[in-house]
Amino acid sequence: MRTIGATCTTGGPLRRPAAAVESLHPNKLGKGTAMSGHELMMLCGIGGVLVAGWAAAARAGAPAGGAAESDIRLIVRGDDMGAAHAVNEACIRCFRDGVVRTAEVMVPCPWYREAVRMLKENPGLDAGVHLTLTSEWENCRWGPLTRAPSLMDAYGYFFPMTGQRPDFPPGTGFLQAGPKPEEVEQELRAQISRAKADIPQVSHLTDHMGAAGASPALRAIAERLAREFGLPLEAPGAKRAPGLGGAKTSPEEKEETLLRTIENLAPGTWILVDHPGLDVPEMQALGHKGYETVARDRAGVTRAFTSERVKRAIQSRGVRLMSYAEFHRK
């Protein structure tokens, strides 16, 4: 299956890192890596940690080690891989150099194939299928994998918004267009099937712009598919951490906001969701009415997610970074 009408108008041994956040990074723990017990103890930085337990957790892809489990657990999620090359690059950068442990992939999007390759090259980065029923950007659009007339606008793309916005042209709301349940189900099944075939580390489902859970009937379809494919939907029981402030905040303010969030996290499991990007011509061409500063906004997310100050704050507070995959294994 292929996207119908997707178009864009856009220009050896483990080393001991200095920071504990980096030392616990799953991408640094390749299979078969030779590590002595002393090195493992150095990496954990906590005397008395059981080396065997830490190594087992590392082999399982756990982002934090063994018995020294923190009371504060944080899933940092980067959304929208596949939507643009710059998004793919930014999500991988936020994993390799930052705090992201899970990325969401949009199967119908123009840069999906590159996202697949990058995820295969980074097997420690957990992946979710970001169920997609909307296409929000004015200059870059995508449509369904399947023949689904009720899900498409006059150009064959998904509708831009989940619900009709009063400041948008008429006929741009997915819900108001009357999506047929059988077409929604066949489309979401196709997206999940494609992702499972392409990406070995797919572990869960989420929904883009809330469209796949925007009504009880739609939510029931997503839940049924989650059971069918054995992929949990979202992360029930985890609490949402405050966001980075949205498009009105500068990159510097986003970093400061994330630092405050980390300092104020209470014990429990938290999820922080945002959209990494880069301030480059490709992303500068993306946007829609009311959100014209996409590149600057999302580059600020990348700055916050890769900030050395943020990584030091996580280390200082003993926050345990984890992925959706690990959350569901628990």
Contact of 214 with 162, CB cutoff 8 Å: yes
Q: Which amino acid is at 33?
A: T
Q: Which helix (H) or strand (E) holds 268?
A: strand 268-274
Q: How far apart are CA 315 and CA 25, in angstroms?
A: 12
Average pLDDT of the segment spanning 183-208: 98
Q: Which helix (H) or strand (E) holds 260?
A: helix 251-264
Strand-pairing partners, residue 127, are 103, 202
Contact of 33 with 14, CB cutoff 8 Å: yes
Helical packing angle, 181-198 and 216-229, nearest 10°: 30
Contact of 16 with 39, CB cutoff 8 Å: yes
Q: How far apart are CA 325 and CA 330, in angstroms?
A: 9
Strand-pairing partners, residue 215, are none
Average pLDDT of the segment spanning 215-224: 98
Q: Tens digits of per-residue pLDDT, 148-177? A: 999 999 999 999 999 999 999 999 999 999
Q: Which amino acid is at 104?
A: E
pLDDT at position 330 is 72
The CATH number of the domain covering residues in 7-11+71-329? 3.20.20.370
**Distances 167 to 102, 246, 288 between C-alpha atoms, Å:** 33, 19, 11
Q: Tens digits of per-residue pLDDT, 268-285? A: 999 999 999 999 999 999
DSSP assigned state of 5: S
Contact of 124 with 61, CB cutoff 8 Å: yes
The pairing of strands 126-131 and 102-105 is parallel
- Annotated domain spans of the chain: 7-11+71-329
Q: Reduced to 3 DSSP states, what percent helix, strand and coil does the chain have, rounded to the nearest 5?
A: 40, 15, 40
pLDDT at position 8 is 53
**Which of residues 33 and 260 earns the better pLDDT score?**
260
Weakest mean pLDDT among 50-54, 69-73, 138-142, 315-319: 50-54
Q: How far apart are CA 83 and CA 247, in angstroms?
A: 18
Q: Tens digits of per-residue pLDDT, 126-140? A: 999 999 999 999 999
Tokens 């996290």, located at residue:
265
